[in-house]
């Protein structure tokens, strides 16, 4: 059988691409190395084991719904956040695409309530932040919740399953290329699937797989950024004045010492800090989420430092995973946690000082010293950023603030793609989502899948 389209990855990009393709009557095949939502359960999260078992596919980051199914299900509905899709299709088209994708999430069960901070309070916070060189970016946010996200994504599976062929627990080894044209997929077990066009949308977990493909095809790379930082945890009281209005406080800051760009990412009011097990790189990183039906007394968010690497360096993923692996080494295979006061004074945190502090940790982590893991300039960047954030979030830079390490984002490769997200040098091949550097979040990943699918549909005519 020859399919009209083969899709690698069942995350938001792959799912929305498939929905667009089948809507237009195309025969679609989806492959993902992970499992379905109902089968995705991490043994550590379930309390069955204490250490990572290196499962063949990690239930946290692989499978139907992608890594987003284990996130807090936050949809950022404002352009300028969550990716670079605007550079491919323009601001107006992106606005329309976000509205369409958002409507689909609501149709499949997402909470219809939307956070929208655009009044005098928001303007005052923007003015206060600006006095410290902090750029506060109000955004429309729809929060689904980690638990509810699974239900929404499963509803999408139930809708798609009768209309296309879906193969889970299937590791795609390579994309078949004949005469500079993509013609299908080859799996690790040696089997093949043929298709008239192929979409590679493997997500962050598949970034290293995509990097290998790019190397084999000798595809040009536009830029090579990488995000490395920490997950910050504070009492809800520190952030609730803003989170009631904004839900997520998005900020950008250029640090005074090194002029590095820092940003806040993935804020989770009343949320939980969680480990993220990366099977591909055999390491544990930190993340955070918030649930619809279960709350903590803390808010967590990431502080990330973005670095753009230039020639001759060509391995940003290797650099980021090396830093994360150092943290795992010092923590005995898990996460590190340190009080901000201890980071400032250059001493390792211990369990006693953390217990006496104002923040009760929501994640199991080994007290340690992040300055032994992060490069010196990253430590300075993070401390300076937290001091600036204290202007709009009084108390966030208190000594008891907890920092978990490390958090990395592996959407490091950014390809030179056409505006349709087609690969210029290989006919019949498109790329979308976080792994290709097009997006950095659920909404733009889903939107990029639709953009690619519309172009694929046109090509199939």
Report whether pLDDT(230) > 80.
yes
Beta strands in 269-329 (DSSP E): 272-278, 283-289, 298-309
Let me know whether 267 and 361 are in one domain. Answer: yes
pLDDT recorded at residue 361:
97
Distances from the Cα of 444 to the Cα of 76, 237, 281, 292, angstroms = 9, 31, 25, 23
Let me know whether 213 and 330 are in one domain. Answer: no
- Residue 172's H or E segment, with its range, is strand 172-178
The reply to whether omega before 312 is within 30° of 0 (cis) is: yes
Query: In this predicted structure, which of 6-10, 54-58, 332-336 has the lowest mean pLDDT?
Result: 54-58
Helix (H, G, I), strand (E, B) or coil at 76: strand
Let me know whether 47 and 154 are in one domain. Answer: yes
pLDDT recorded at residue 44:
67
Report whether pLDDT(412) > 60.
no
Tell me the β-bridge partners of 254. 261
Let me know whether 178 and 297 are in one domain. Answer: no
Q: How many domains is the chain built from?
A: 2
Please check whether residue 189 lies inside any domain of the structure: yes
Calculate mean pLDDT across residues 263-291. 88
pLDDT recorded at residue 68:
65
> What's the token pair of residue 431?
């790329």
Let me know whether 450 and 341 are in one domain. Answer: no
Which residues contact residue 308 at a Cβ distance below 8 angstroms, ignoring those fewer than 6 apart? 223, 224, 225
Calculate mean pLDDT across residues 8-23. 97
Let me know whether 211 and 246 are in one domain. Answer: no
> What's the token pair of residue 215?
């190397």
pLDDT recorded at residue 71:
67
Name the residue among 69, 41, 34 with its Cα closest to residue 153: 69
Which residues contact residue 347 at a Cβ distance below 8 angstroms, ignoring those fewer than 6 apart? 369
pLDDT recorded at residue 35:
92
Helix (H, G, I), strand (E, B) or coil at 312: coil
pLDDT recorded at residue 175:
96
Find the farthest-apart pair of alpha carbons in the chain and give their distance in angstroms, rounded: 67
Report whether pLDDT(347) > 80.
yes
Report whether pLDDT(223) > 80.
no
Radius of gyration of the chain (CA): 21
**Is the model more confident about 412 or about 32?**
32
Share of the chain above pLDDT 70, in %: 96
Calculate mean pLDDT across residues 23-47. 87
pLDDT recorded at residue 303:
98
**Is the model more confident about 223 or about 88?**
88
**Which range of residues forms the domain containing residue 96?**
2-73+78-113+144-220+416-460
Q: What is the C-alpha to C-alpha distance for residues 317 and 327, in angstroms, rounded to an integer?
A: 16
> What's the token pair of residue 233?
């945890």
> In CATH, what number is assigned to the domain containing residue 214?
3.50.50.60
pLDDT recorded at residue 129:
96
163 exposed, middle or buried (CB, 10 Å; 0-12, 13-18, 19+)? middle
Let me know whether 247 and 380 are in one domain. Answer: yes
Please check whether residue 276 lies inside any domain of the structure: yes
Calculate mean pLDDT across residues 116-140. 90
Query: Over the stretch 141-199, which tens digit does the pLDDT of each residue have?
Result: 998 987 889 999 999 999 999 999 999 999 999 999 999 999 999 999 999 999 999 99
Query: Over the stretch 47-103, which tens digit does the pLDDT of each residue have?
Result: 677 666 677 777 777 899 987 666 678 899 988 888 889 999 999 999 999 999 999
Query: What are the b/e assignments for 39-60, b being 16+ CB within 10 Å?
Result: ebebebeeeeeeebeeeebbbb
Calculate mean pLDDT across residues 401-418. 85
205 and 198 in contact (C-beta within 8 Å)? no
Let me know whether 173 and 83 are in one domain. Answer: yes
Let me know whether 421 and 399 are in one domain. Answer: no
Let me know whether 10 and 98 are in one domain. Answer: yes
91 exposed, middle or buried (CB, 10 Å; 0-12, 13-18, 19+)? exposed
- Residue 165's H or E segment, with its range, is strand 165-167
336 exposed, middle or buried (CB, 10 Å; 0-12, 13-18, 19+)? buried
Report whether pLDDT(132) > 90.
yes
Calculate mean pLDDT across residues 237-254. 92
Calculate mean pLDDT across residues 230-240. 97
- Residue 313: pLDDT band with limits 50, 70, 90: confident
298 and 81 in contact (C-beta within 8 Å)? no
**Is the model more confident about 117 or about 377?**
377
- Whole-number average pLDDT of the chain: 91
345 exposed, middle or buried (CB, 10 Å; 0-12, 13-18, 19+)? exposed
- Strands 28-31 and 2-8, bridge-based pairing: parallel
Distances from the Cα of 67 to the Cα of 13, 21, 37, 164, angstroms = 12, 23, 11, 22
Let me know whether 155 and 31 are in one domain. Answer: yes
């Amino acid at each position: 059988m020859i399919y009209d389209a083969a899709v690698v990855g069942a995350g938001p990009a792959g799912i929305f691409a498939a929905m667009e393709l089948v809507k237009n009557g195309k025969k679609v095949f989806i492959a993902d190395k992970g499992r379905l939502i109902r089968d995705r359960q991490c043994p550590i999260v379930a309390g069955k084991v204490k250490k990572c078992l290196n499962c063949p596919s990690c239930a946290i980051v692989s499978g139907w719904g992608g890594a987003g199914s284990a996130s807090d299900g936050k949809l950022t509905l404002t352009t300028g956040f969550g990716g670079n899709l605007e550079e491919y299709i323009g601001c107006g088209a992106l606005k329309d695409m976000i509205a369409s994708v958002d409507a689909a999430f609501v149709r499949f069960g997402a909470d219809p309530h939307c956070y929208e901070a655009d009044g005098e309070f928001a303007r005052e916070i923007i003015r206060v932040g600006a006095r410290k060189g902090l750029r506060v970016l109000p955004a429309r946010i729809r929060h689904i919740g980690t638990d509810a996200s699974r239900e929404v994504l499963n509803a999408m599976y139930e809708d798609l399953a009768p209309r296309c062929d879906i193969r889970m627990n299937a590791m795609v080894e390579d994309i078949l290329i004949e005469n500079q044209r993509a013609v299908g997929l080859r799996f690790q077990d040696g089997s093949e699937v043929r298709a008239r066009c192929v979409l590679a949308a493997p997500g962050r977990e598949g970034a290293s797989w995509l990097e290998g493909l790019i190397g084999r095809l000798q595809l040009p790379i536009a830029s090579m950024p990488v995000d490395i930082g920490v997950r910050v945890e504070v009492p809800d009281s520190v952030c609730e004045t803003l989170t009631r209005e904004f839900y997520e406080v998005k900020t950008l800051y250029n640090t005074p010492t090194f002029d590095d760009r820092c940003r806040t990412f993935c804020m989770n009011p009343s949320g939980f800090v969680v480990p993220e097990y990366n099977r591909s790189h055999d390491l544990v990183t930190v993340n955070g989420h918030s649930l619809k039906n279960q709350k903590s007394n803390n808010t967590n968010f990431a502080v990330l430092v973005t670095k753009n690497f230039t020639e001759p360096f060509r391995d940003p993923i290797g650099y980021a995973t090396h830093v994360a692996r150092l943290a795992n080494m010092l923590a005995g295979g898990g996460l590190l946690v340190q009080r901000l006061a201890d980071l400032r004074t250059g001493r390792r945190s211990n369990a006693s000082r953390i217990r006496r502090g104002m923040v009760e940790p929501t994640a199991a982590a080994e007290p340690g010293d992040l300055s032994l893991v992060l490069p010196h300039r990253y430590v300075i960047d993070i401390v300076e950023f937290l001091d600036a954030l204290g202007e709009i979030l009084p108390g966030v830079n208190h000594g008891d603030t907890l920092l978990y390490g490390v958090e990395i984002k592996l959407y490091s490769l950014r390809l030179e793609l056409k505006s349709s997200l087609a690969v210029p040098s290989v006919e019949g091949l498109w790329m979308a989502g976080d792994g290709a550097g097009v997006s950095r979040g659920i909404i733009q990943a889903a939107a990029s899948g639709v953009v690619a699918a519309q172009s694929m549909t046109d090509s199939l005519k």
